[in-house]
Amino acid sequence: MNPKVIILKLNSDSCNLCCDYCYENKKNFSTKNNEKIIAINFIEKLLNNFSQNQNVKFILHGGEPLLSPFEYLEELFTYFRFLTQNRNVTVGIQTNGTIISPKLINLFRSNSEILRSIGISIDGPIELHDSVRKNKSGEGSWMRINSFVNEIRKNTDLGINAICVISKMNINYPEKILDALINDMKIKNISLNPCFLLESNGIDSFSIRPLEYFGFLQRAFKYVCKKNLLSNIKINPFYNQFNSFLGNPPSVCLWAFPNKCNSFITVYPDGSIYPCDEWSRNDKTMFFNLKDNLPPEDQLSLYDFNQDNYVNDKYKMMINLCSECKFVRDCGGGCFSIRSYWYENDIQMYNEYCDYRIKYIKYLKPLFVDATKN
């Protein structure tokens, strides 16, 4: 059974950085009642909806999840270990990589059976990264991230994944980005994620267009091939696209079809439940609130993607549109949150998004076929 991915917004939007393109602090978070961290009994209530054989992957997210009180993180991991008595549970952390201590190292090490990897936001070499990922005093964060990576490597066996946001600030430097992450920081798992503009999220001057992202990916792939990195470095979106060509199950929802958004649930400190956090947070996209104490069967029906509600209607609309496309097997439909927003608000961007996906497949597939022959 595929795992249900539960994104825990541990401390809502609290963060020690103030990144120029961050969309999290543009969302409508509800922390009026000092609901700064997720109560563990909320997670218990949520899990009551699922059978014991439902595998679960928790992602500790934020804001910055490692700002949560250490005692709370200890209690949370104790609870996760308790869950493994009856179900398969894994944990991932998405962090900005600026907070580390001996206590955190010990916590990570003592939970190595369930904590598999740590995702760290790094936008390339220091001059590119520090131009956008700063603290609230305007100081760059790259040096602290480098120390974090070194401490994790020295003291644990955890895998380190780099999440690199491709924005206006670094889109012209794919070779520099990959050289810094692979050769300088020795990272072997990298995701190159586009900074697309959605709604009024305040990142207009940093966002890129889909076809600009395609141009970046072309240059990045040429660099990867030139340096002969395909066999020992996992770089997304290339890795997932190759899996898609092979017919293997995707590890990222962008290439999954038709089971996409229904694999994700996001939990906020106030008890509200939403789909994947790429969706806007508002009354239309909320499934329910755990404080309402709805019976499990009623909760399940609210995020059953066969039911009628705002998110499910958009999901089904995108499924129908994709089903008519001959590229759907290789493409997987991309991000339905992005596409459904553009479909209703900017049809030109919607068409460009699909165009980028098709051009990307047409560009990559012949190269993939040639590579597998050799």
Residue 165 belongs to domain with CATH number: 3.20.20.70
> Residue for token digits 């795992």?
3
Same domain, 349 and 326: yes
Q: What is the pLDDT of residues 283-303, one digit of tens each?
A: 888 888 988 877 766 666 666
C-beta of residue 94 within 8 angstroms of C-beta of residue 119: yes
Q: How many angstroms separate the Cα of 228 from the Cα of each of 211, 224, 235, 240, 244?
A: 26, 6, 12, 18, 21
Same domain, 314 and 240: no
Total domain count for the chain?
Answer: 2
The larger pLDDT score, comparing residue 282 to residue 104, is at 104
Same domain, 243 and 94: yes
The larger pLDDT score, comparing residue 22 to residue 358, is at 358
The answer on pLDDT for 206 being more than 80 is: yes
The answer on pLDDT for 88 being more than 80 is: yes
Among 277, 302, 327, residue at a domain's last position: 302
The answer on pLDDT for 32 being more than 50 is: no
The answer on pLDDT for 326 being more than 70 is: yes
The answer on pLDDT for 179 being more than 90 is: yes
Same domain, 265 and 358: no
Kind plus residue range of the DSSP H or E element containing 289 = strand 288-289
Of the candidates 356, 70, 20, 29, the one whose C-alpha atom is nearest the C-alpha of residue 213 is 356
Of the candidates 276, 117, 278, 99, the one whose C-alpha atom is nearest the C-alpha of residue 190 is 117
Same domain, 252 and 328: no
- Residue 310's pLDDT is what? 87
Say if strands 264-267 and 272-274 run parallel, antiparallel, or are unpaired. antiparallel
The answer on pLDDT for 186 being more than 70 is: yes
Helix (H, G, I), strand (E, B) or coil at 317: helix
Q: How many angstroms separate the Cα of 243 from the Cα of each of 84, 116, 162, 188, 232?
A: 29, 21, 20, 17, 15
Same domain, 77 and 180: yes
- Please tell me the distance from the alpha carbon of residue 68 to that of residue 49, in angstroms, as a whole number: 26
- Please tell me the distance from the alpha carbon of residue 75 to that of residue 80, in angstroms, as a whole number: 9
The larger pLDDT score, comparing residue 297 to residue 42, is at 42
**Token pair of 86, please?**
């009856």
- Residue 299's pLDDT is what? 65
Same domain, 213 and 280: yes
Torsion sign (Cα): 278, 283, 288, 291: positive
Average pLDDT over residues 93-99: 97
Average pLDDT over residues 16-20: 90
Q: What is the pLDDT of residues 210-254, one digit of tens each?
A: 999 999 999 999 999 999 998 899 999 999 999 999 989 888 889
The whole domain housing 184 covers 4-302
The larger pLDDT score, comparing residue 339 to residue 288, is at 339
Helix (H, G, I), strand (E, B) or coil at 194: strand
The answer on pLDDT for 28 being more than 50 is: no
Burial (CB count <10 Å: 0-12, 13-18, 19+), residue 247? exposed
Strand order in 288-289's β-sheet? Answer: 234-236, 189-194, 159-166, 115-121, 89-95, 56-61, 4-9, 264-267, 272-274, 288-289
Among 263, 281, 302, residue at a domain's last position: 302
Whole-number percent of the chain with pLDDT over 70: 91
The answer on pLDDT for 174 being more than 60 is: yes
Whole-number mean pLDDT of the chain? 89
Helices (H), ranges, 227-281: 238-246
Average pLDDT over residues 262-268: 90
Q: What is the pTM of this model?
A: 0.93
Same domain, 274 and 330: no
Cα–Cα–Cα angle for 17, 20, 25, nearest 5°?
A: 65
Q: Which band of pLDDT confidence, cut at 50, 70 and 90, is reported for residue 80? A: very high
Q: What angle do the packed helices 210-226 and 347-373 form, to 10 degrees?
A: 20
Same domain, 189 and 238: yes
Same domain, 286 and 340: no
Average pLDDT over residues 31-54: 79
Average pLDDT over residues 174-179: 98
Q: What is the pLDDT of residues 129-154, one digit of tens each?
A: 999 999 989 999 999 999 999 999 99
Same domain, 267 and 333: no
Same domain, 329 and 196: no
Among 270, 302, 334, residue at a domain's last position: 302
Q: Which band of pLDDT confidence, cut at 50, 70 and 90, is reported for residue 266? A: very high
DSSP β-bridge partners for residue 7: 59, 266
